[in-house]
Amino acid sequence: MRQSNYIIEREKGKHLKLGARKIIAHLYNKQNKNYSEIAREMNCHRTTISREIKKGLTTFKNADWSDREVYVPEIAQGVY
């Protein structure tokens, strides 16, 4: 999928919807993008992304019992 497919038109001052949160999860968890890169693709401020990821960040155990932090959009939606 091309990166231009991720750009979402969103009105300023409106809340993020679950679909946008799922895109953030993909960009953060799978593509390992930072807040600024995600914000550029989502057409919002990097602080919005930072706060959003803080809402849905959770810790999972790997097979070797090491911890990894993952953004889960459903948890963030519940917090919202």
Indicate which CATH number applies to the domain containing 37: 1.10.10
* Domain count across the chain: 1
- Asked whether residue 61 is assigned to any structural domain, the reply reads yes
**pTM score:** 0.79
pLDDT in the model for residue 33? 96
Concatenate the DSSP letters of all residues of 7-74 into one string. -----TTPPPPHHHHHHHHIIIIIS---HHHHHHHHTS-HHHHHHHHHHHEEEEE-TTS-EEEEE-HH
- Asked whether residue 7 is assigned to any structural domain, the reply reads no
Quote the domain boundaries for residue 65: 18-79
- Asked whether residue 2 is assigned to any structural domain, the reply reads no
Residue whose token pair is 């959770």: 58
pLDDT in the model for residue 8? 60
Band of pLDDT at residue 70, cut at 50, 70 and 90: very high
For residue range 18-50, what is the model confidence (pLDDT) as tens digits?
999 999 999 999 999 999 999 999 989 999 999
CA distance 24 to 75: 13
